[in-house]
Structure 1
């Protein structure tokens, strides 16, 4: 496995400066955030101009950093057809962006079940959107993955099994984030054990508590057994990037920027990532 840092962890650092700092901290890749969060803006979006795309790609190459993934998180099961179409266009734009940046993987989420719609209708909307985006990704030479999120329509290990069953002709992968499974009382080890050949990217983010009363603390301060998961991922043949996704500041953990970067890389070293 190889270490990466998810840019969402330091949203206020400009992307070119962050590329240098991530490289200086010893990571081998930088995952780029395209999601707009209440507490963090994106570093890239489908509107990132061509010159900036070239500058980002050149800067990463100069520092020996891969761009293993783009987080294209937007709610894909909105109440209106217009909102759902806009979400698809956003994801397709992120796929085009990934192609321009030589990034092999884009991951998405579902969003909560649509208000006023049944579970089955919401699931059908999501599955149809994933099929369309996966087709676009295939045409651009980019892999498309789904991340299970606590509180969302698509939130559980069994949801992966259902989606793969419902879309047998689509190329879809797993973005494995154990934190969301942990805080729902699931065993995250089911993902590498049952879906190891589908995992294209991993998030390193800790979790504790039970949804909706939960937190994502700094790595090592939650309840996830990452050493066990790392072993299971290796057994499953995963040799991609494990990306430190720091969101602990949202839950009251105040760490300075250097500590976030260096602490994440030290945690990767403790798991013998990059060795």
Structure 2
């Protein structure tokens, strides 16, 4: 069962980036969800290209894959969380978010990342739903074009409370944009538990054709709070089974952005939890396969002649049926 796990740097904000990367490599993670923020590869500071090269060299030394996250809280505006968004009434403000996403795509290309993550934002007061959807589609056109040119998928995340909040909303956006190949999906497993009508495992299966990035954590139904594994309600082995069945090759990134105070400990515990869940799932799969094989072997051994060791069926003359031209 091939799944590659990463940990989000938005859950390690008390660590320098190099320390965070070294920690994750030492723990055995396959990669990192790198949120572009003031403490970790600041996208707004000078010399971004040179700094990106240094990070790329370090990732290569450590053997870590990477996906680029763009959900930093105050990277564009020190007073507005996640502002401005792609839905902002001011076109100049929307353009600022677009420029951030374009920079993220360039960083992703330079690092060989498997995707760039983004989200829609909350619909501003006084903005109709139709207008909000139009703003979102219009703002993403140049971003999708850049992603297409760079060969880096843009993975939009349904976010509770945002305009684009669920899988159905993702498909609406795909339709509005003409279903471009570069437009994919970030699926957050906790969000599925929070608000999707289907189970998280069924959401994975339904999302498979568009899956470009996965975030994972525990959560409770109806409560948008990212929780350490075991503190919520999600049954993870079926989720991991469904994810493996899709053939998804990107990173599955632990997303605990409000737990940086305990980031190193939770990073270790999270990977242990996921590996334990995989081990249990592998054992269950092997047991199921063994049971099925045993049943099939017993059925084959019995066949039309009866159980192994029983006398062969005989015809009316007393000779074996096969010698009378019958079916053996």
Q: Which residue of 2 aligns with 1:34?
A: 36
1:197 to 192, 209, 212: 209
Instruction: For 1:25-104, list aligned pairs within 5 A.
Output: 25-34=27-36, 42-47=39-44, 49=47, 50-67=49-66, 69-73=67-71, 74=82, 75-104=85-114
CA deviation after TM superposition for structure 1 residue 249, in Å:
3.0
Q: Which moved more, 1:103-112 or 1:159-168?
A: 159-168
Q: Which residue of 2 aligns with 1:134?
A: 144
Q: Which moved more, 1:161-170 or 1:112-121?
A: 161-170
CA 1:240–1:104 in structure 2 vs 1: closer, same or farther (change >3 Å)? Answer: closer
CA deviation after TM superposition for structure 1 residue 184, in Å:
2.4
2:263 to 236, 244, 257: 257
Q: Which residue of 1 aligns with 2:190?
A: 179
1:123 aligns with 2:133: yes
Instruction: For 1:139-150, list aligned pairs within 5 A.
Output: 139-150=149-160
1:271 aligns with 2:277: yes
Q: CA RMSD in A?
A: 2.0
CA 1:46–1:175 in structure 2 vs 1: closer, same or farther (change >3 Å)? Answer: same
CA 1:156–1:11 in structure 2 vs 1: closer, same or farther (change >3 Å)? Answer: same
CA deviation after TM superposition for structure 1 residue 270, in Å:
2.1
CA deviation after TM superposition for structure 1 residue 169, in Å:
4.5
For structure 2, the residue ranges without an aligned partner over 5 or more in a row are 72-81, 283-328
CA distance in 2, matches of 1:153, 1:222: 25
TM-score (norm 2): 0.75
For structure 1, the residue ranges without an aligned partner over 5 or more in a row are 36-40
CA deviation after TM superposition for structure 1 residue 137, in Å:
0.9
Conserved 8 A contact 1:79-1:116: no
The residue matched to 2:65 in structure 1 has which SS?
Answer: coil
1:164 aligns with 2:163: no
Q: Which residue of 2 aligns with 1:245?
A: 255
CA distance in 2, matches of 1:185, 1:234: 21
CA distance in 1, matches of 2:16, 2:256: 17
CA distance in 2, matches of 1:103, 1:198: 17
The residue matched to 1:129 in structure 2 has which SS?
Answer: helix
The residue matched to 1:216 in structure 2 has which SS?
Answer: strand
CA 1:108–1:64 in structure 2 vs 1: closer, same or farther (change >3 Å)? Answer: same
Return the index of the structure with the highest Cα Rg. Answer: 2
Q: Which has the higher contact order (CA 8 A, sep 6+)?
A: 1
Q: Which residue of 2 aligns with 1:8?
A: 10
The residue matched to 1:200 in structure 2 has which SS?
Answer: strand
Q: Which residue of 2 aligns with 1:207?
A: 219
CA deviation after TM superposition for structure 1 residue 163, in Å:
1.6
TM-score (norm 1): 0.88
CA distance in 2, matches of 1:191, 1:136: 28
Conserved 8 A contact 1:204-1:245: yes
Conserved 8 A contact 1:218-1:248: no
Which structure's residues are more often helix, by fraction? 2
CA distance in 2, matches of 1:226, 1:186: 17
Q: Which residue of 2 aligns with 1:38?
A: none
